Amino acid sequence: MKFLKSYTGGMVVLAVVIVLSVLLGSRRSLVSERGKVEEQFAPIAGDLQDCLDITANVLTVGERYLEESQMAALEGSRNMLSDWHGISNGYTAYTRLQEEAAAVLDELEECDLTDKDREYIQGFRTDLASEADTIARDGYNAAAEQFNSKVLGAFPANILSKLTFVAPAELFA
């Protein structure tokens, strides 16, 4: 206790308080800025939900013409996308969904479809391509890259982010 009442003790306590304030304040600010960037992911999340809806319709039509085993991979990728955690994991699930949906649509086009179902299949393919184009044009990745390079890459944030364990914004890639 005697140490804390001394001039040196007071200076040590003051230095500790300043360092903790800088670290905690920096963390709070950097996490807040990353949160603003991640809020820009919402339109992509909506597009991913649209892809899930479209592929549910693909499976509905597919049930009339294909064996369950031929659609199992698409069902698995739908489950993976509906339960993704983390933006980069969402991209992996989305990519897999696109590939599996294309494979099922290709198989369906080889079947003897009714005219209405043929129109549905073409519409599903067009809708998935439209969603892919919308996702590709979204500005989220540019915002995340800018945050990672301009904010976290600049001094003193580049040091403080490491000291406070602030992760860079995930890219949807």
CATH at 92: 1.20.1440
Asked if residue 51 lies in contact with residue 94, where contact means CB atoms within 8 angstroms, the answer is yes
Whole-angstrom Cα distance, residue 51 to residue 53? 5
Domain with 129, as residue range(s), is: 26-163
In a domain, 168, yes or no: no
pLDDT of residue 141: 97
In a domain, 8, yes or no: no
Number of structural domains (the chain) is 1
In a domain, 18, yes or no: no
In a domain, 137, yes or no: yes
pLDDT of residue 10: 86
Whole-angstrom Cα distance, residue 143 to residue 140? 5
pLDDT of residue 59: 97
pLDDT of residue 1: 74
DSSP tag of 78? H
In a domain, 155, yes or no: yes
Compute the C-alpha angle 36/42/47, nearest 5°. Answer: 155
In a domain, 157, yes or no: yes
In a domain, 132, yes or no: yes
Whole-angstrom Cα distance, residue 52 to residue 143? 25
In a domain, 14, yes or no: no
pLDDT of residue 3: 80
Q: Is the peptide bond before 156 cis (omega within 30 degrees of 0)?
A: yes
Whole-angstrom Cα distance, residue 74 to residue 51? 12
Low-confidence ranges of the chain (pLDDT < 50): none
